[in-house]
């Protein structure tokens, strides 16, 4: 009931910006978050949005906790960059997803080019993890313990860890992380595991592998580096999440979400498609109780990793290069608002219950959408048009009530109708 009241309050204030983390929490999730990086923290306008906990309740360091920075030479540890981000989050009261411990990339050459025995590699992994996780003990909501261990066909990626130890490096890493911080949620994190398929099936096997070895694995992180117009159906996304929960993970999350244009510039219709795609992912997370939150891989196109990796592609995030909100922001905000006002089932929390059931957070009332209710709950402010995904009616709402061409004002609940 308290959640409902708080979400209602946000939506009822005329002109109020219903913001992402506040709405995600009101909808029962733990957070809506963003990655960031050290260089960006000198951009005042950027930081002012990032530190607003109504908007972002969770931060992931995009680079600073990776092995190349934290143990550049064997036994020489440095946490300057990671600490800057973790301290930033702590100052603002934001949760931190810590990223990442064992990954083939951004690995210093002393590790990747060495010639190691099994015992030596075991010791290298144990030392790295116990030192880094120990350093951040109590500060990380979760750790991405092993990152990207799989090829797209579901086979194991060949890397120095696998070459020396085979798949046993994976449970070994989880065991070391659990010992160093018993309270942190331990995740396997990868891309192209958001939908069902060979890689998702192998991710299920990794969860089983770790558990069968007697080690703890709490979550599966779906990076979700997606492409506009190619996002899987919501039901497929939910099936993948449920497969990880059925295998014994207690939670899942979207850890690096961005949805890029494969060619630029983005057209208006492309931006609408991107909004639809973001809405699909958001709805999928809302529909699965164990999906604890969504992290976007930085919040603005200004600092996205994509253009430097995929030439000619990008515009993948919720804010544009000028830090203005895009249609996708409105879509995510609206989907969260609808769920928040419909009444929320809290996400699997830090106590990580072993529930495998899922809960569709949208109400049955919302599912049977009709046109907007009588104008008694709404006062229009003259002739104006609401863009698709925007709010068009609801108790206390005083904005525009006419939906843009191609969309209709649909009743979601007493407090919220939306142009769909």
Catalytic residue set: 148, 256
Applying CB under 6 A, does 267 fall inside the site for ligand G3I?
no
Q: CB nearest ligand G3I: which residue?
A: 305
Sign of CA dihedral 310, 282, 368, 325: negative
Applying CB under 6 A, does 256 fall inside the site for ligand G3I?
yes
Q: How far apart are CA 100 and CA 222, in angstroms?
A: 14
Applying CB under 6 A, does 63 fall inside the site for ligand G3I?
yes
Contact 195, 236 (CB under 8 A): yes
Kindly compute the dihedral angle of the four CA atoms of residues 76, 106, 301, 223, in this order, to the nearest 10 degrees: -110
Instruction: Supply the minimum distance, in Å, between the C-beta of residue 98 and ligand G3I.
Output: 12
Q: Which CB, 140 or 336, lies closer to ligand G3I?
A: 140
Instruction: Supply the minimum distance, in Å, between the C-beta of residue 52 and ligand G3I.
Output: 22
Applying CB under 6 A, does 62 fall inside the site for ligand G3I?
yes
Applying CB under 6 A, does 80 fall inside the site for ligand G3I?
no
Contacts of 137 (CB under 8 A, 6+ apart): 180, 181, 184
Q: Which CB, 223 or 362, lies closer to ligand G3I?
A: 223
Q: Which residues between 287 and 316 bind ligand G3I (CB under 6 A)?
A: 305
Backbone angles phi, psi at 59, to 5 degrees: -130, 140
Sign of CA dihedral 401, 407, 409, 412: negative
Half-sphere exposure of 224 (CA within 13 A, CB side): 33
**Per-position x/- string for 5-44, each x denoting binding to ligand G3I as judged by CB under 6 A, each - no binding:** --------------------------------x-------
Applying CB under 6 A, does 223 fall inside the site for ligand G3I?
yes
> Which residue in the set 76, 78, 106, 370 belongs to the binding site for ligand G3I (CB under 6 A)?
106
Q: How far apart are CA 58 and CA 38, in angstroms?
A: 16
Q: Which CB, 62 or 82, lies closer to ligand G3I?
A: 62
Q: Which residues between 366 and 385 bind ligand G3I (CB under 6 A)?
A: none
Radius of gyration of the chain (CA): 22
Q: Considering only CA atoms, which of 186, 219, 388, 211 is closest in space to residue 288?
A: 219
Applying CB under 6 A, does 105 fall inside the site for ligand G3I?
yes
Applying CB under 6 A, does 277 fall inside the site for ligand G3I?
no
The residues of the shown chain that bind ligand G3I, judged by CB under 6 A, are 37, 62-63, 105-106, 147, 223, 256, 305
């Amino acid at each position: 009931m308290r959640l409902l009241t708080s979400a209602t309050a946000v939506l009822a204030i005329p002109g109020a910006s219903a913001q992402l983390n506040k709405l995600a929490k009101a909808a029962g999730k733990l957070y809506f978050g963003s990655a960031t990086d050290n260089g960006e923290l000198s951009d005042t306008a950027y930081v002012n949005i990032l530190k607003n906990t109504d908007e972002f309740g969770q931060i992931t360091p995009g680079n600073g906790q990776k092995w190349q920075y934290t143990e550049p030479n064997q036994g020489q540890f440095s946490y300057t960059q990671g600490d800057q981000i973790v301290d930033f989050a702590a100052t603002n009261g934001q949760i931190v997803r810590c990223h990442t411990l064992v990954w083939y990339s951004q690995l210093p050459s002393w590790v990747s080019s060495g010639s190691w025995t099994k015992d030596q590699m075991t010791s290298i992994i144990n030392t790295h993890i116990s030192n880094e996780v120990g350093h951040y003990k109590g500060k990380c909501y979760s750790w991405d313990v092993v990152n990207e261990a799989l090829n797209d066909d579901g086979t194991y990626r060949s890397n120095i860890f696998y070459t020396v130890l085979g798949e046993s490096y994976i449970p070994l890493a989880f065991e070391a992380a659990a010992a160093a911080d018993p309270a942190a949620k331990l995740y396997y994190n990868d891309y192209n595991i958001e939908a069902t398929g060979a890689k998702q099936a192998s991710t299920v096997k990794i969860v089983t592998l770790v558990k069968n070895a007697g080690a703890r694995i709490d979550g599966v992180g779906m990076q979700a580096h997606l492409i506009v117009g190619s996002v899987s159906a919501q039901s497929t996304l939910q099936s993948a999440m449920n497969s990880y929960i059925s295998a014994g993970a207690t939670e899942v999350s979207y850890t690096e979400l961005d949805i890029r244009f494969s060619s630029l510039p983005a057209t208006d219709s492309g931006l609408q498609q991107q909004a639809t795609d973001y809405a699909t992912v958001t709805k999928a997370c809302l529909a699965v109780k164990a999906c604890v939150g969504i992290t976007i891989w930085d919040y603005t196109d200004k600092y996205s990793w994509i253009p430097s990796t995929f030439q000619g592609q990008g515009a993948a995030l919720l804010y544009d290069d000028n830090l203005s909100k895009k249609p996708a922001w409105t879509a995510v905000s609206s989907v969260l608002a609808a769920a928040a006002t419909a009444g929320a089932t809290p996400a699997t929390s830090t106590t990580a219950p072993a529930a495998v059931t899922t809960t569709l957070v949208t109400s049955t009332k919302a599912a049977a959408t009709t046109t907007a209710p009588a104008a008694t709950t709404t006062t229009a402010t003259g002739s104006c048009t609401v863009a698709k995904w925007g709010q068009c009616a609801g108790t206390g709402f005083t904005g525009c009530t006419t939906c843009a061409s191609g969309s209709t004002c649909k009743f979601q609940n007493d407090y919220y109708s939306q142009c769909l």
